[in-house]
Amino acid sequence: MKPIIFTLVGADKPGLIESLAKTVYQYGGNWLRSNFSHMAGHFAGFVEIDLPEEQHQALIDAFNAHPDLKITLMSAAGREAKFPNTAVINIMGNDKPGIVQEVTGVLNQFNINIRSFDSVCESAPNWGSELFKAQAVIAIPDDFDLDTLAERLEHIANDMVVDIDLQQ
């Protein structure tokens, strides 16, 4: 078995995930993990599977024939390193350009890897404006000083008038 990752985007309809899962199973694959969302009127996601290497091309050909989705496959490098230390950053505030750029810029300054990042804009109750909410899970090296990171995040939170909460 060799890991393979595929991304997909297309018009949504009932049964899409079931048809993908059936195809993966038919070619001897094992569905390891996935993430799907509706974005900008489309269905989008990514999936990691284990698949016998001799079946990779057959699965690619089967997916290329899928009538409703654009699917891209790539081989995975193998099992990813596990990070024993993680922290969670929660962000919330009135939506404005630059929130994600500011937060990820700070993380990049500290050479911090983002493990997952989920965000949404929704109508703020009683305010009528858009509220931006995000959660990032970050990998923390063993000897990392979280207090310094928290101070930098607090600084940009004050500048942008958003709440940023860092939790280990």
Q: Which helix (H) or strand (E) holds 105?
A: helix 99-109
How far is it, in rounded angstroms, from Cα 12 to Cα 37?
A: 10
Q: How many domains does the chain have?
A: 2
Choose the final residue of a domain: 49, 75, 101. 75
Q: Per the domain annotation, does 54 fall within a domain?
A: yes
How far is it, in rounded angstroms, from Cα 95 to Cα 92?
A: 8
| Adjacent-strand bridge partners of 75 | 4
pLDDT for 139 equals 94
Tell me the per-residue pLDDT of 2-61, one tens digit each, with 9 for 90 and over.
888 999 999 888 888 999 999 999 999 999 999 999 888 899 999 999 999 899 889 989
* Residue-range definition of the domain harbouring residue 101: 86-167
Cα 39–Cα 119–Cα 107 angle in degrees, nearest 5: 130
**Is the pLDDT confidence value at 82 over 90?**
no
Same domain, 42 and 115: no
Mean pLDDT over 125-141 rounds to: 88
Q: Per the domain annotation, does 20 fall within a domain?
A: yes
How far is it, in rounded angstroms, from Cα 48 to Cα 1?
A: 12
- pLDDT tier for residue 80 given thresholds of 50, 70 and 90: low
Question: Among 55, 12, 65, which residue's Cα sits nearest to residue 37?
Answer: 12
- CATH of residue 94: 3.30.70.260
pTM of the model: 0.78
Same domain, 95 and 63: no
Tell me the per-residue pLDDT of 100-129, one tens digit each, with 9 for 90 and over.
999 999 999 999 999 999 999 988 777 778
Same domain, 68 and 127: no
